[in-house]
Amino acid sequence: MIKTISELVAIRDILRHEGRQVVTTNGVFDILHAGHIKALRESKEQGDILIVGVNSDDCVKRLKGEDRPINCEEDRAEVLSALECVDYVFIFGEDDPCDFLKALKPDIHTNSEEYGKDCIEAKVLAENGGRLYLIKKIPGKSTTGLINEMKND
């Protein structure tokens, strides 16, 4: 289900009152692949509710270049919202997730191990009583890698 941050903050308050653990994660999710599915499933296993932040199209262009994203933000959000392991999806335009982490105050935030325990999210999580969970990547699974392979064919 696709929501705004303000809607999710209200939902988060209800979930917290119910004693449910909220997990967040974020990414571009441009061309969904096995690495994404593994990460999303592992993220969901860390708590009761999984909220996924999707980088806006403008943000993706800043982070990945003018030829990205392949799929628009609405389509990427819709695909993610159809996955059984994903409870809520929202689109955000900032280059990092710190603002939405401050607003949502998740119990757990998952991130790829490549960013490490001292990633930019760690400080915000610690300040708000949350914790970081690092997910191991599947070697060779990335959207950029898939795109580069297609260009070389």
Q: What's 90's DSSP letter?
A: E
Q: What's the CATH code of the domain at 54?
A: 3.40.50.620
Complete DSSP assignment for 34-63 = HHHHHHHHHHHTTSSEEEEEEE-HHHHHHH
With residue 26 as reference, give the H or E element that holds it: strand 22-27
Q: For tokens 């969901």, what's the residue?
A: 44
CA 16/CA 57 separation, integer angstroms: 31
Show the domain range for 55: 5-152
Asked if residue 50 lies in contact with residue 23, where contact means CB atoms within 8 angstroms, the answer is yes
Q: For tokens 């607003």, what's the residue?
A: 103
The domain total for the chain is 1
> Mean pLDDT of residues grouped by 10 in the chain (153 residues)?
97 97 96 93 98 98 93 98 98 96 98 90 95 86 62 68
Task: State the pLDDT at residue 141.
Answer: 61
- Say if residue 147 is exposed, middle or buried (CB neighbours under 10 Å; 0-12, 13-18, 19+): middle
- pTM of the entire structure? 0.92
Number of Cβ atoms within 10 Å of the Cβ of 44: 20
Q: What's 113's DSSP letter?
A: G
Task: State the pLDDT at residue 120.
Answer: 92
- Say if residue 60 is exposed, middle or buried (CB neighbours under 10 Å; 0-12, 13-18, 19+): buried
Task: State the pLDDT at residue 116.
Answer: 85
Task: State the pLDDT at residue 99.
Answer: 96
